[in-house]
Structure formats: structure tokens, C-alpha cells
Amino acid sequence: MDSQRGKLFIVSTPIGNLLDISPRALECLEEVDIIACEDTRHSGKLLNKYKIETHRISLHKHNEASRTAKLIGKMISGHDVAYITDAGTPLISDPGSRLVHLASQEGCEIVVVPGPSAVTAAIAGSGFPADRFYFGGFLSTKKKARQDELRDALERAETSIFFDSPYRLVSTLELLSNLDTDRPIVVARELTKKFEEFKRGKALDLANLFSQKPVKGEIVIIISGARIPRWLNSEQT
């Protein structure tokens, strides 16, 4: 690594509860020269709460190419840059891969400041085996593609985790039920927030539950693997 070049810090931020940010992350965001945000207005709530006044610029999927080039130039000139997304750990179903790869190619040191992630929070609260798991990101918006993704998940030995839209949740659960009526499922909603909940059961029961009123908030679906432990076959509550 070139010691004259700036560093790129990949900083995890809260997925809901703003108190979940680490002291190390706050220190980093205060000390870098630039904070690249997926959405400067959204991240502003967090940064303003902790009175962090570091210069901010946006970096999202629509400007990733041009902003990456600009930030690489800043780091080559010796400036330290932190990258944060709207919630959780950057690059996990978020932009940033291009920035990390090209910064590394240019000899800039990459420093990860770990922290909250909806993936690990969801599987930890699910009670499903977590020694191995598959993360599929956001389920497809196309019904046929989503069905194929769910079928593949049901055939895996390990636990599968997906993000989904609250507007498609009931449809997704109905698709799951058509594919497997008995597989244990957990739906995690609004993780770390005031109305956080984990709902457990078979897909059709959950579809009926969530169809009773409009679903709101961020959704994570956790699907038990095909090798279901004996203790997991007990009645879901």
C-alpha cells in the first residue's frame, strides 16, 4: 500500500436504532476528510444526531461510476474517505463494490469498521441453524424469477435468507406455500426498531397473518434448510 495515499473506510451504520453505532465508527466518521453516503439526506439524520460535520457527498447506484472516480482521485491525493450506506454494512445488497475494488487497485488501504447487519440480526433471532447459511439479497420483483429463487432455497440443505418488499410479502409467502406447505419460516420485520417482530410458522399461516392489514417496514425472510433439525420440527410460535 502507498502510505502517501488516503485510506478507504467501509463503515457499518445502524439498521434502525441509532444507538447501535459503535464508538469506533463515530470516531472514524469524525476524523476522515470525506464521507460518501448512499443518500446524504438519510445519513444526515445519523450524522446530525452525533454532531458529525465532516464533508459529505453522495454515492449511489445511479452515480457510482462518476463518484467512484472522484473519490479515488481524492484518496490518491491523500484524503481519507469513509463510505456508509443507508443502513447496515455497505456492499451487502448495496453499492460500493466498485469503489472498494478500484481503491485497492490504486494502492489505497481498505479498512472495514464492522457493525450492524440485517442479515446476521435476522438469522440470530430466527432460531434456525446458522453455522452455514445462504444469503440471496433482495428477491426478484418478477413472479416467475422469485418462484425459482424460492424453489432453489427450499432445495438447499442450509438456511436461506432474503430481503423482500413489504408490498410483496404476502405474495412471496403464498408462493412458498405452493412449493412446500410444511417448511418452517420466519419473517423478521423492522429489526432493531420500536415495532421489531419475528413471526414464525408455516408459509400459508404467515401469509394469512400478514394479509390482515397492510405490511410496513423492512422485511427479512428466513427459510429453514431442507435438513431440518428434529428440534425445529416442533410447533412454531
Instruction: Express each pLDDT in 183-234 by its tens digit.
Output: 999 999 999 999 999 999 999 999 999 999 999 999 999 999 988 787 776 5
Q: Is residue 129 part of a domain?
A: yes
Q: Which of 113, 129, 155 corresponds to the end of one domain? A: 113
Q: Is residue 2 part of a domain?
A: no
Residues 32 and 93 in one domain: yes
Q: Is residue 1 part of a domain?
A: no
Residue 16: per-residue pLDDT: 94
Confidence of residue 1 (pLDDT cuts 50, 70, 90): low
Instruction: Express each pLDDT in 79-121 by its tens digit.
Output: 999 999 999 999 998 889 999 999 999 999 999 999 999 999 9
Residues 135 and 227 in one domain: yes
Indicate the number of domains in the chain. Answer: 2
- Which residue range forms the structural domain that includes residue 51? 8-113
Is pLDDT at 146 greater than 80 in this prediction? yes
Residues 155 and 225 in one domain: yes
Q: Write the secondary structure of the chain as one string of H (helix), E (strand) and C (coil).
A: CCCCCCCEEEECECCCCHHHCCHHHHHHHHHCCEEEECCHHHHHHHHHHCCCCCEEEECCCCCHHHHHHHHHHHHHCCCCEEEECCCECCCCCCCCHHHHHHHHHCCCCEEEECCCCHHHHHHHHHCCCCCCEEEEEECCCCHHHHHHHHHHHHHCCCEEEEEECCCCHHHHHHHHHHHCCCCCEEEEECCCCCCCEEEEECHHHHHHHHCCCCCCCCEEEEECCCCCCHHHHCCCC
pLDDT cut 70: percent of the chain above it: 97
Q: Which of 77, 94, 113 corresponds to the end of one domain? A: 113
Residue 175: per-residue pLDDT: 97
Q: What is the mean pLDDT of the chain?
A: 94
Residues 195 and 169 in one domain: yes
Residues 20 and 56 in one domain: yes
Residues 28 and 106 in one domain: yes
Residues 38 and 69 in one domain: yes
Residues 73 and 30 in one domain: yes
Q: Which of 68, 89, 113 corresponds to the end of one domain? A: 113
Q: What CATH number corresponds to the domain at position 12?
A: 3.40.1010.10
Q: Is residue 73 part of a domain?
A: yes
Q: Is residue 89 part of a domain?
A: yes
Q: What CATH number corresponds to the domain at position 176?
A: 3.30.950.10
Residues 149 and 99 in one domain: no
Residues 161 and 218 in one domain: yes
Residues 76 and 139 in one domain: no
Q: Is residue 180 part of a domain?
A: yes
Residue 237: per-residue pLDDT: 44
Q: Is residue 3 part of a domain?
A: no
Residues 99 and 44 in one domain: yes
Prediction pTM value:
0.91
